[in-house]
Amino acid sequence: MRNVLRLFILALFVAPVIPVTLAAQGPRGPNDLSGEWAPLFHEDQPERIPGPDIGDYLGLPINDAARMHADAWDASILTLPEHQCKPHPADYSPRGPANLRLWREIDHDTQALVAIHTHISWQQPERTIWMDGRPHPPEYAAHMWQGFSTGTWDGDMLTVTTTHLKMGWIRRNGVPRSDQAVLTEHFVRHGDTLTLISVVNDPVYLTEPFVRTTNWALDPHQLIAPYPCQAVVEIERPQGIVPNHLPGANQFLREFAAKFNLPLEPTRGGAETMYPEYIAKIQGMTPVAKPGK
């Protein structure tokens, strides 16, 4: 009886408060994505953290031009001072050591959402996703590592369109993505999990859209460390040397296939290698022999 009385008294205090609180909230907006997000690596971990093998183009919808570009890529190019501090571009930075911070920029007077900003740990790239309906810049404007992004809400899903990207990469073993590409992203929050579905359309190096998903877990205690970068001369070379493999001269291209007992053909990539039907085709192929066998 005493408990019932207590509840009754509590209700007397709480009841007037609830409608006032709801009224103060006004119309409900989309799900807020703000927060500190820790990356989850259950998808594609070998590629994302240790890094991809040389010659691993599996599952990438690339064309011959992209394949040749990747075949010519020599990791030693990253020793050149001008290459050392490059951040990952907008479409790749979520794939690496990507502790993520998301925050909203609200106009003081109107309380309208102006932009959503992101910061990622590795090399500290920051993006601005404009939510105020502004147009993309003209074609003669500068391209940036993080491009120029605008966003719209589809219910609780944030859809972002990014143009004006610099020439970049879709896998960090030399597989290129051109500066003509357009990146479309969908951010979806399920409670304490954030999922990013990204779609790259590149008329120069891809034959089909390239789709990836990446996930984070909310981590309010996350502290992202600074990531200063200063280029140094690691190897003294004459001016103008650019490490690269001449066509047909890259001796490392078969290592990935040999390591995983795969035929060479699927490792060369192409849209066909993205689809489950391709598994049947591999069955009839001969794996690459391991060195020394």
- For other proteins, the closer CB: 69 or 212: 69
Nearest 5 degrees, angle CA 259-CA 260-CA 263?
105
- For other proteins, the closer CB: 194 or 206: 206
- For other proteins, the closer CB: 82 or 277: 82
- What DSSP assignment string belongs to 93-156? GGGSS--EEEEEEE-TTT--EEEEEEEESTT--EEEEE-S-PPPPPTTSPPBTT-EEEEEEETT
CB of 268 to other proteins, least distance (A): 14
- For other proteins, the closer CB: 63 or 195: 63
Using the structure block, give the residue that is written with the tokens 């102006």: 114
CB of 207 to other proteins, least distance (A): 12
Residues 116/33, Cβ–Cβ less than 8 Å? yes
Interface residues with other proteins (CB under 8 A)?
64-66, 68-69, 72, 77, 82-83, 85-87, 123-126, 134-146, 148, 164, 166-167, 176, 178-180, 203-205, 239-242, 244, 246-247
Residues 183/202, Cβ–Cβ less than 8 Å? no
Please name the residues in contact with 56: beta carbons below 8 A apart, sequence gap of 6 or more. 47, 171, 173, 256, 267
Using the structure block, give the residue that is written with the tokens 């954030």: 194
- For other proteins, the closer CB: 152 or 261: 152
CB of 45 to other proteins, least distance (A): 26
Provide the CA 95 distance to its chain's centre, in angstroms. 5
CB of 215 to other proteins, least distance (A): 25
Gyration radius from the chain CA atoms: 24
CB of 96 to other proteins, least distance (A): 15
Residues 161/150, Cβ–Cβ less than 8 Å? yes
CB of 50 to other proteins, least distance (A): 24
- For other proteins, the closer CB: 117 or 186: 117
Using the structure block, give the residue that is written with the tokens 């009754």: 8
Using the structure block, give the residue that is written with the tokens 């994302």: 48
CB of 252 to other proteins, least distance (A): 17
Residues 118/99, Cβ–Cβ less than 8 Å? no
- For other proteins, the closer CB: 169 or 256: 169
